[in-house]
Amino acid sequence: MSMMEVPNLGTVYSGEELGRSLEGSSGKAFSRRARLSFYNRTFKIVCIASAVFVCLILFSILLLMGRTGILTFETVSLKTFFFSTEWVPENEQYGAFIFIFGTIALTLLTMVISVPLSLIIAIFLSEMTPAWLKNALRPVLDLLVGIPSVVYGFLGMTVLIPMLRSVTGTTLGDGILAAAIVLTIMVLPTISRITDDSIVAVPKKFRDASYALGSTRFQTVVRVVIPAAKSGIMYAVILGMARALGETMAVVMVIGNTPQLADALFKPTSVLTSNIVMQIPNVPFDSAWNYALYMMGFILLVISLIMIVVVRAIQGRGVKS
Amino acid sequence: MSTGKPSANAISGSHPFAARRSMNQLTNKLFTGIVWLIGICTILFIIALLYTILQKGLPQLDWGFLYGEPSEIEEGGGIGPVLFNSFYVLFISLIISIPLGMASGIYLAEFAPANKFIAFIRICVEGLASVPSIIFGLFGIVLFVESLDLGLTVIGAAISLAFLNLPVLTRVTEEAIRSVPQEMKQASFALGSTHLQTIRRVLIPVALNGIITGICLVAGRAFGESAVIILTGGVTSSGVMWDFNPLDPGATLAVHLWYVQSEAIVPDARLIAEKSAAVLVFIVLMINIVFRVPMWLNARKMR
């Protein structure tokens, strides 16, 4: 209730009439308030619908891939598909072991090369370089993440493989090592930038305490900073791993695309992604061959989703501690 | 981590920790040296890489190449239609994915209550972001080539690409809006704005920097994406310029680069590939730089 006395000037309007007269003059069918709340509700519903839509895409992908892939096992036994090394679609032999093994071997080899290197670059960026160099290098690394994978593949094919041939003296440069080097160049910016960020996020007092105890920089970095940034580093590594696992075009161009077991560094082989992209355009949709390729895609999908669950677990632990 | 006590006039010979300390100093120096060496080498290597791509291709570019039609057999083919397709596919995919991605990002940042359902949506978004691009290609085949029986088309490629972009856009928008200071939001509410007005007039303008950076990231990635396009758009284009029909085959520049280098039989394949790679890298760098530089400058001014 207001304390003010409203001077009564002749005509008395009740509150309801006042509302009517305003509506009448604005000429709208319904009041501004109703309109605003209508917009608000509609907007909220649109937002919810889009969020649900994103989930829907994931599930329809899972469903379609799984449903198409599972048809493989009508003609091929589970054991043959996962453990046979015979991939001869012309003879109805669908053993995917070579590709599964190739993918795992390639991802591990890439990680073995790229993780130490990225870690060193991250330390270099966060702990050693002067500020002006940091400001110059970080955007460059960010830009590198955006270079298309075909370009890396093209470079690998035209620059790296001839180089590998002349350095090692082998006749064939294609293979798992060439692919791992190309993938290393691709995931390096990703891993080192995220690691760099997590190292920068380590509180300065940790370093101060370590230096105050008389440690050298080496000791500080190895025993204090890196353990403190551990969860961020793990996150970076898994992200890089997911990228290496799913990378297609760069790998296709350097791996040789031959279905044989990757038991040597220089031996044309094939991985899940490269095999799918090389074969699927020429395969009729309703064939065991195609179903087998979809099953291989489904395996990739499941592995990458498992990685995300692991990442979530790491992040959850990081938040708690 | 017990090292020798640092004292100004330590007599190194008689000090009990002397040996260990000089060892520590040595490892430290070695470590610093190795990190510097590897750091500088890698950076030089990366710069050399970029330089090689651009230097091999850019000086040889001319309008005939950028505008010309690709040829299957003869020398001197251009990249006109595939370059056009690249932009066309990118444009359609962004038109689809930006509103959807932003809306779901806004939902996650603003409306979402902290319950199990939202945690679930968030896991889905992250999961979708980690799905390898080739899976989107396979999905596109099932959806457009098999179910709708369209064949390899521009529109199929664009929509599959939009699905690939969606989770990234969602996350970028969510993070950008979350990073807007709470005071601004409260001030807007205090002035009597509704939630929608607050989002439109306060949150989005303030978060715009982050959102545009994210869109550039996504656009650059989509421009260079090839696995999805090979499976859903094919490796050929309609072969003529300014072909807006969305049901024509939709090979983009990135696909063309791969196709020319590994499948085609034209005699000057290597040259075309080098020039295409240079154009591709140049455009991706431009997408990233042109939109970001004004923001860096802005950010600097604000400080």
DSSP B203: I
Does the pLDDT value for residue A173 go beyond 80? no
* Beta-carbon separation of A221 and B31 below 8 A: yes
Burial tier of B77 (Cβ tally within 10 Å: 0-12, 13-18, 19+): buried
Does the pLDDT value for residue A1 go beyond 80? no
Q: Is A287 on the interface with B (CB under 8 A)?
A: no
Residue type, A216: T
Cα separation, A162 vs A156, in Å, equals 9
What residues make up the domain containing B238?
61-302
Average pLDDT, integer, range B232-240: 76
Q: What pLDDT score was predicted for residue B221?
A: 85
Cα separation, B275 vs B272, in Å, equals 5
Q: Between residues A252 and A20, which one has the greater pLDDT? A: A252
- The reply to whether B84 falls in a domain is yes
Does the pLDDT value for residue B236 go beyond 60? yes
On the CB side of B106, CA atoms within 13 Å amount to: 26
Q: Are residues B134 and B266 in the same domain?
A: yes
Q: Are residues B258 and B132 in the same domain?
A: yes
User: In a 3-state reduction of DSSP, which class is residue B114?
Assistant: coil
Report ipTM (2 d.p.). 0.81
Contacting residues of A for B128, CB less than 8 Å apart: 54, 57-58, 61
The H or E element spanning position A88 is strand A87-88
Q: Are residues B34 and B138 in the same domain?
A: no
Does the pLDDT value for residue B234 go beyond 80? no
Instruction: Give chain A's end-to-end CA distance (angstroms, integer).
Output: 53
Q: Is A252 on the interface with B (CB under 8 A)?
A: yes
Determine which of B17, B22, B135 to mutate to test the interface with A (most A C-beta atoms within 10 Å).
Answer: B135
The crossing angle, in degrees rounded to 10, of helices B133-140 and A32-70 is 90
Does the pLDDT value for residue A320 go beyond 60? no
- The reply to whether B1 falls in a domain is no
Per cent of chain B over pLDDT 70 is: 89
> Which two three-digit tokens encode residue A262?
């990757």
Q: What is the pLDDT of residues B287-300, one digit of tens each?
A: 888 877 777 776 66
Q: Are residues B21 and B148 in the same domain?
A: no
Q: Is the distance from CB of B266 to CB of B78 less than 8 angstroms?
A: no
Q: Is the distance from CB of B142 to CB of A60 less than 8 angstroms?
A: no
Domain count, chain B: 2
Q: What pLDDT score was predicted for residue A112?
A: 92
- The reply to whether B104 falls in a domain is yes
Q: Is the distance from CB of B217 to CB of B239 less than 8 angstroms?
A: no
Q: What is the pLDDT of residues A128-139, one digit of tens each?
A: 888 888 887 888
Contacting residues of A for B231, CB less than 8 Å apart: 277, 280-281
Does the pLDDT value for residue B201 go beyond 60? yes
Residue type, B18: A
Q: Are residues B68 and B47 in the same domain?
A: no
Q: Is the distance from CB of A149 to CB of A247 less than 8 angstroms?
A: yes
- The reply to whether B7 falls in a domain is no
- The reply to whether B6 falls in a domain is no
Angle at B174 between CA A56 and CA A141, to 5 degrees: 105
Q: Between residues A262 and B37, which one has the greater pLDDT? A: B37
Which residues, including other chains, have CB under 8 Å from residue A284's CB and lie 6 or more apart?
A290
| Highest mean predicted confidence (pLDDT) among A59-68, A131-140, B109-118, B250-259 | A59-68
- The reply to whether B30 falls in a domain is yes
pLDDT confidence bin for A287, thresholds 50/70/90:
confident
Q: How many residues does chain B have?
A: 303
Radius of gyration (Cα) for chain B, nearest Å?
26
pLDDT confidence bin for B16, thresholds 50/70/90:
low
In order of A65, A101, B184, the CA distances from A70 in angstroms are 8, 20, 52
Q: Between residues A29 and B208, which one has the greater pLDDT? A: B208
Mean pLDDT of chain A: 81
Q: Backbone dihedral region of A27: left (phi > 0), alpha (psi from -120 to 50 degrees) or beta?
A: left
Q: Between residues B94 and B276, which one has the greater pLDDT? A: B94
Q: What is the pLDDT of residues A99-108, one digit of tens each?
A: 888 888 899 9
Q: Is A167 on the interface with B (CB under 8 A)?
A: no
Q: Are residues B51 and B171 in the same domain?
A: no
Q: What pLDDT score was predicted for residue B17?
A: 67
Determine which of A57, A126, A219 to mutate to test the interface with B (most B C-beta atoms within 10 Å).
Answer: A57
B 250-279: CB under 8 A from A: 254-255, 257-258, 261-262, 270, 273, 277
Q: What pLDDT score was predicted for residue A321?
A: 45
> Which two three-digit tokens encode residue B77?
């083919």
Determine which of A45, A68, A119, A150 to mutate to test the interface with B (most B C-beta atoms within 10 Å).
Answer: A150
Q: What pLDDT score was predicted for residue B11?
A: 45
- The reply to whether B3 falls in a domain is no
Q: Is B298 on the interface with A (CB under 8 A)?
A: no
Q: Is the distance from CB of B276 to CB of B260 less than 8 angstroms?
A: yes
Q: Is the distance from CB of B200 to CB of B234 less than 8 angstroms?
A: no
Angle at A243 between CA A242 and CA A248, to 5 degrees: 120
Q: What pLDDT score was predicted for residue A9?
A: 47
- How far is residue B188 CA from its own chain's centroid? 34
User: In a 3-state reduction of DSSP, which class is residue A56?
Assistant: helix
Per cent of chain B over pLDDT 90 is: 3
pLDDT confidence bin for A270, thresholds 50/70/90:
confident
Q: Are residues B95 and B53 in the same domain?
A: no
Q: Is B231 on the interface with A (CB under 8 A)?
A: yes
Q: Are residues B207 and B66 in the same domain?
A: yes
Q: What is the pLDDT of residues B46-101, one digit of tens each?
A: 888 888 888 887 777 777 777 777 776 666 677 788 888 888 889 999 999 999 99
The H or E element spanning position B23 is helix B18-57
* Nearest residue, CB atoms, B220 vs list A146, A149, A223: A146
Q: Are residues B31 and B158 in the same domain?
A: no
Q: Between residues B296 and A212, which one has the greater pLDDT? A: A212
Q: What pLDDT score was predicted for residue A254?
A: 85
DSSP B263: T
Q: Is the distance from CB of A153 to CB of A252 less than 8 angstroms?
A: yes
Q: Are residues B120 and B141 in the same domain?
A: yes
Average pLDDT, integer, range A239-251: 87
Does the pLDDT value for residue B15 go beyond 70? no
Q: Are residues B133 and B156 in the same domain?
A: yes
pLDDT confidence bin for B10, thresholds 50/70/90:
very low
Q: What pLDDT score was predicted for residue A27?
A: 52
Cα separation, A136 vs A151, in Å, equals 23
Does the pLDDT value for residue A161 go beyond 80? yes
Average pLDDT, integer, range B199-207: 86
Q: Is the distance from CB of B276 to CB of A155 less than 8 angstroms?
A: no
Q: Between residues B89 and B237, which one has the greater pLDDT? A: B89
* Nearest residue, CB atoms, B285 vs list A143, A221, A273: A143
- The reply to whether B4 falls in a domain is no
Contacting residues of A for B284, CB less than 8 Å apart: 146-148
- Report the DSSP pairing between strands A87-88 and A93-94: antiparallel
Cα separation, A277 vs B14, in Å, equals 69
pLDDT confidence bin for B7, thresholds 50/70/90:
very low
Q: Are residues B147 and B18 in the same domain?
A: no
